[in-house]
Structure 1
Amino acid sequence: MGGGVVGYCEEVRACLGDGGVVERNGRVQLCQPHGNDTSIYVCCRKPRLVAKECTK
């Protein structure tokens, strides 16, 4: 996602529904999943998961 922030390629509704963030500096990064899925996939960052990993 830029600036050293790591994101994961995930379906946009699944990302947002799980508290993910798809924008960085007002931009959304699209990505291509494996296979023939026609859903929209984006680079997804999940702050809660990052925070959980930092407290381990």
Structure 2
Amino acid sequence: EEAVGLTKVVPFLVEDTLKQLGGDYSKGDDWGVYVLTDGKLVTGQNPASSAQAAKDLITLLS
């Protein structure tokens, strides 16, 4: 949200809320590929991460 000027538009930031609730949060460079897998959960940071997230999911399901 910060990279596109939306931090004042959205009702809350996922990053802040996760940290406040004791969750683990990490991120990559803006607009870069960043994918994490935790057990059966595969997450991608943004649309640039879609292909890698799909590959990781296919590997996980194989």
Q: Which has the higher helix share?
A: 2
TM-score (norm 1): 0.23
Instruction: Indicate the structure (1 or 2) with the bigger Cα radius of gyration.
Output: 2
Return the structure number with greater relative CO, CA threshold 8 A, min gap 6: 1
Q: Which has the higher strand share?
A: 1
